[in-house]
Amino acid sequence: MKPINVGLCGVGTVGGGTITVLKRNAIEITRRAGRPIVITMAANRDLIRARELCGDDITLTSDAMDVVNNPEIDIVVELIGGTTIAKDLVLAAIANGKHVVTANKKLIAEHGNEIFTRATEKGVMVSFEAAVAGGIPIIKALREGLTANKIEWVAGIINGTSNFILTEMRDKGLAFNDVLKEAQRLGYAEADPTFDIEGHDAAHKLTIMSAIAFGIPVQFDKAYLEGISKLAAIDIQYAQELGYRIKLLGMTRRREQGIELRVAPTLIPARRLIANVDGVMNAILVKGDAVGATMYYGPGAGAEPTASSVIADLVDITRLHTADPEQRVPHLAFQPSQIADLPILPIDEIETCYYLRINTEDKPGVLADITRLLADNDISVDAMLQRPIAGEARADIIIITHLAVEKRVNTAIKGIEALPSITGAVVRLRLEHLNG
Amino acid sequence: MKPINVGLCGVGTVGGGTITVLKRNAIEITRRAGRPIVITMAANRDLIRARELCGDDITLTSDAMDVVNNPEIDIVVELIGGTTIAKDLVLAAIANGKHVVTANKKLIAEHGNEIFTRATEKGVMVSFEAAVAGGIPIIKALREGLTANKIEWVAGIINGTSNFILTEMRDKGLAFNDVLKEAQRLGYAEADPTFDIEGHDAAHKLTIMSAIAFGIPVQFDKAYLEGISKLAAIDIQYAQELGYRIKLLGMTRRREQGIELRVAPTLIPARRLIANVDGVMNAILVKGDAVGATMYYGPGAGAEPTASSVIADLVDITRLHTADPEQRVPHLAFQPSQIADLPILPIDEIETCYYLRINTEDKPGVLADITRLLADNDISVDAMLQRPIAGEARADIIIITHLAVEKRVNTAIKGIEALPSITGAVVRLRLEHLNG
């Protein structure tokens, strides 16, 4: 059967992995897809580097638009990243009636609505499994595997760098900055790690999963982000004493009034399987009303794991592009006409459990004042721990709350911070029980 | 758009769950599928029971062939079980040009090759996500999500009853028979539990996954089965001391000479995530050459979890039945013409690690005799533990081996059992490191 001709835009780490795996497993992939899938053209700014990775069989160009405008190309793979050139070329590929595969989470999370609208108009497929959680087929699971369910929430450890740092902080009792340096030395963190440690990367992925889970547009601008750079080692230790682990968790939950969408360091019970996902690994826990909780675990980054998802999308398109476009798997899991206008809730309105650490003088009446302020704001206490601070007449009081509304927790915290025996800011972290 | 009409054969636990979920989530499912998916006809021997579950909108019959022969029905759902009536009606549905969804692992594992051949001839889809691991979309992951990979092995905890029993034996230090009674009382084990505890159920599921992972025919008759009913509490305890847990593990591995395919109680390192899958939950760990290890976790049984997979298949067919049947996702992941003739290796030929427990007189020279017999059979020792038996001049010697060929291990064991200081049979369990 006639091969599927693929044009590759961007020959970097993932592009190189895609070339390698497509070649190494060509027989296996053709046995599955029914047709050979062959990269015939590639674009890269650095042509010398590209030639090393592409070998002699692939036509090279330094202009990605050459790929997009090549009438022989059936599918364009966008691995350039960013939202400028990448967006232009994806839209141009669609306009030319080509199917698109991309690993670009930022592009999909920020411009997915526009891209999918154009793709639907032209009847082409835009696939992006590699944009979320690297090699884990989580997009497929959410979009196709769990279609029977009303999804209640999706919780994910979806940034390997942050998870590596948190794992090391816990295992070795080290401070954030020391572990960050180690992660940079090992190549698990970039020289400028902001994008990973402040939650941007995770929020891009979570935004995409939220849209697919609930049938809403992608709305990255409404996601709430809180990173791990201010997390203190002592809170990881107290959490552990109380039976919890702290993870940078992406959490999106359906509530009656709208959708919660946030990335933040979060306590989760240590006995949950997902709490034991350590190092650079990723995992996503999905709660559906029919199936209950299912979890998907694997490598969230890396050349070949990401290539695994890129190629799965190529095989998918090869298998399914002949299906009626009106019926075929919709880009965001729900038919375009059925995307709902549910609002993303402001962070003030979310409802979850909280961990509070309060540094106080160790004297009578303080606890009564604190618990009174909590009660006044409808916050009830689930667990409490008091720890003296060595050599001082002070103590840390740690409180785990039941479900509470965030703005009330903030009000209570303001009240607590104004108490005369309290020093400094109250540490507030969110806590998710993730009950199956 | 015109609804997809579904005919349901068998209105039991899963059938009831399917009716309930399709009704409860009708809006959500239609938003995803683009068309309403409606059960219009159902067959059940007990019509009174069926009427209770089906309500008044569904035409009932006591003859499943009425459903299969109804020209209004687009998709037949087979939930009768077994391989007699179920097989006839599935083949008749295919002959009538209808798509089929089934949760029947025995039918697919034992007669899948014939069924898929007929389905391919008629250009219809036969989907069976619910046949393996209940609500976990593992078939989709293997068949579509990991298509870039040469799969190296698949390991699964895929029988909830056995996993519940093993979890309780470990947590409470109880004997198999005591826990079995408890499991029966709680409804986690059948009155006749043979099918679950002796590995048949797991082997059906593993056979299907093996075929899809490696592109071979389903060959249940060549699967090796070993159950948990003879497992002693003491071996669970020794395993724990050595850093392992014992699970009823389905393991299928590609080797140069063929495919290993077995279900048996197996030691796995306690630090692996899959070792911590407890109670009735299921998990499947897949090793691909590009992606590395990915894991899929969730409920392996139950009315609504299984219905979740049945309905996902219905949505899939609704979305994809218009695709070119020559190109569409193949039933066994590989194109029918590309199914390979790799043999299933006899159990004697497998290569894995082993746990041996040897009950011996506590006197000089025994260990030298044992290790000599192992060395003579090319078996090297990874770890050893010796435990005195209270009140006796005897000891248990526990040996963990490196990779070894099973027939050589058996030869060594025969030699060990013939030693004068050894009493009774040597306990031999397999061990898998499951390295990602």
Which pLDDT band, with edges at 50, 70 and 90, does A148 fall under? Answer: very high
Q: Is A69 on the interface with B (CB under 8 A)?
A: no
Question: Would you call A70 helix, strand, or coil by DSSP?
Answer: coil
Q: Which CATH class is domain B4-127?
A: alpha beta
| pLDDT greater than 90 at residue A238 | yes
Which CATH code for domain A139-299? Answer: 3.30.360.10
Distances (CA, A) of B193 to B161, B197, B200, B241, B298: 9, 6, 11, 30, 22
What per-residue confidence (pLDDT) applies to B75?
98
Q: Is B171 on the interface with A (CB under 8 A)?
A: no
Closest-CA distance, B284 to chain A, in angstroms, reads: 10
Measured between beta carbons, the chain A residues lying within 8 angstroms of B300 are none
Closest-CA distance, A318 to chain B, in angstroms, reads: 7
What does the alpha-carbon distance between residue B40 and residue B114 come to, in Å, rounded to a whole number?
Answer: 28
Measured between beta carbons, the chain A residues lying within 8 angstroms of B137 are 140-141, 144-146, 294
Q: What is the mean pLDDT of residues A87-94?
A: 98
Two tokens at B14? 């899963």
Quote the percentage of chain B above a pLDDT of 90.
96
| pLDDT greater than 90 at residue B430 | yes
Amino acid, res. B341: D
Q: What is the mean pLDDT of residues A43-61?
A: 95
Give the strand pairing for B37-43 and A394-401. Answer: unpaired
Closest-CA distance, B224 to chain A, in angstroms, reads: 26
B319–A322 C-beta distance less than 8 A: no
Q: Which of B87, B98, B140, B205 is catalytic?
A: B205
| pLDDT greater than 90 at residue B169 | yes
Closest-CA distance, B386 to chain A, in angstroms, reads: 31
Main-chain dihedrals φ then ψ at residue B285, nearest 5 degrees: -110, 125
Which pLDDT band, with edges at 50, 70 and 90, does A83 fall under? Answer: very high
CB-closest option in B30, B32, B148 to A307: B148
| pLDDT greater than 90 at residue A1 | no
B299–A296 C-beta distance less than 8 A: no
Of the candidate ranges A91-100, A383-392, B284-293, B299-308, the one whose mean pLDDT is the lowest: A383-392
Q: Which CATH class is domain A350-431?
A: alpha beta
What per-residue confidence (pLDDT) applies to A280?
95
For residues B363 and B378, the answer to whether their CB atoms sit within 8 Å is: no
What per-residue confidence (pLDDT) applies to B1?
79
| pLDDT greater than 80 at residue B199 | yes
Q: What is the mean pLDDT of residues A246-259?
A: 97
What per-residue confidence (pLDDT) applies to B53?
93
CA quadruple B87, B88, B89, B94: dihedral, nearest 10 = 90
Q: Name B263's bridge partners.
A: B225, B250
CB-closest option in B24, B290, B308 to A304: B290
What does the alpha-carbon distance between residue A204 and residue A106 come to, in Å, rounded to a whole number?
Answer: 6
* H runs (alpha helix) in A69-227: 85-95, 105-122, 138-140, 160-172, 176-186, 194-197, 200-214
Measured between beta carbons, the chain A residues lying within 8 angstroms of B333 are 32
What does the alpha-carbon distance between residue A398 and residue A413 come to, in Å, rounded to a whole number?
Answer: 13
* B14 assigned binding-site residue: yes
* Selected residues 256-295 of chain A with any CB under 8 Å from a CB in chain B: 273, 276-277, 288-295
CB-closest option in B35, B294, B304 to A298: B294
Name the residue ranges covered by the structural domains of chain A: 4-127, 139-299, 350-431
What does the alpha-carbon distance between residue A281 and residue A107 come to, in Å, rounded to a whole number?
Answer: 23
Active site (annotated) includes residue A205: yes
* B13 assigned binding-site residue: yes
pLDDT tens digits along A119-144:
999 999 999 999 999 999 999 999 99
Which pLDDT band, with edges at 50, 70 and 90, does B76 fall under? Answer: very high
Q: Examine domains B4-127 and B348-431 and report if their fold is the same.
A: no
A323–B144 C-beta distance less than 8 A: no
Q: What is the mean pLDDT of residues B203-220?
A: 98
A318–B148 C-beta distance less than 8 A: no
Measured between beta carbons, the chain A residues lying within 8 angstroms of B28 are 149-150, 215
Q: Which of A87, A98, A140, A205 is catalytic?
A: A205
What does the alpha-carbon distance between residue A123 and residue A99 come to, in Å, rounded to a whole number?
Answer: 9
SS3 content of chain B, % helix, strand, coil (to 5): 40, 25, 35
| pLDDT greater than 90 at residue A364 | no
Which pLDDT band, with edges at 50, 70 and 90, does B363 fall under? Answer: confident
A215–B31 C-beta distance less than 8 A: yes
Which pLDDT band, with edges at 50, 70 and 90, does A105 fall under? Answer: very high
A323–B319 C-beta distance less than 8 A: yes
Measured between beta carbons, the chain B residues lying within 8 angstroms of A148 are 21-22, 25, 29, 307-312, 315
* A105 assigned binding-site residue: yes
pLDDT tens digits along B21-66:
999 999 999 999 999 999 999 999 999 999 999 999 999 999 999 9
- CA torsion sign for A228, A180, A271, A397 is negative
Give residues with Cβ within 8 angstroms of B176, minimum separation 6: B165, B169, B228, B229, B230, B231, B232, B233
Q: Which ipTM value was assigned to this complex?
A: 0.97
**Minimal-distance CA residue of chain B relative to A315:** B147
What per-residue confidence (pLDDT) applies to A390?
87
Q: What is the CB neighbour count within 10 angstroms for residue A5?
A: 18
Q: Is A326 on the interface with B (CB under 8 A)?
A: yes
CB-closest option in B304, B328, B333 to A290: B304
For residues A31 and A66, the answer to whether their CB atoms sit within 8 Å is: no
CB-closest option in A148, A296, A334 to B307: A148
Average pLDDT, chain A: 97
Q: Which of A37, A294, A311, A329 to mutate to test the interface with B (most CBs of B within 10 A)?
A: A294
CB-closest option in B312, B326, B335 to A146: B312
Closest-CA distance, A284 to chain B, in angstroms, reads: 10
* Selected residues 374-433 of chain A with any CB under 8 Å from a CB in chain B: none
For residues B344 and B258, the answer to whether their CB atoms sit within 8 Å is: yes
| pLDDT greater than 90 at residue A18 | yes
A312–B146 C-beta distance less than 8 A: yes
| pLDDT greater than 80 at residue B436 | no
pLDDT tens digits along A307-346:
999 999 999 999 999 999 988 999 999 999 999 989 999 9
Give residues with Cβ within 8 angstroms of B343, minimum separation 6: B257, B258, B259
- Residue among B22, B44, B24 at smallest CA distance from B33: B22
Which CATH code for domain B138-298? Answer: 3.30.360.10
Closest-CA distance, A136 to chain B, in angstroms, reads: 7
B24–A289 C-beta distance less than 8 A: yes
Which CATH code for domain B348-431? Answer: 3.30.70.260
Give residues with Cβ within 8 angstroms of A392, minimum separation 6: none
| pLDDT greater than 90 at residue B362 | no
**Buried-state track A363-399, b at ≥16 Cβ within 10 A, e below 16:** eeebbebbbebbeebebeeeeeeeeeeeeeeebbbbb
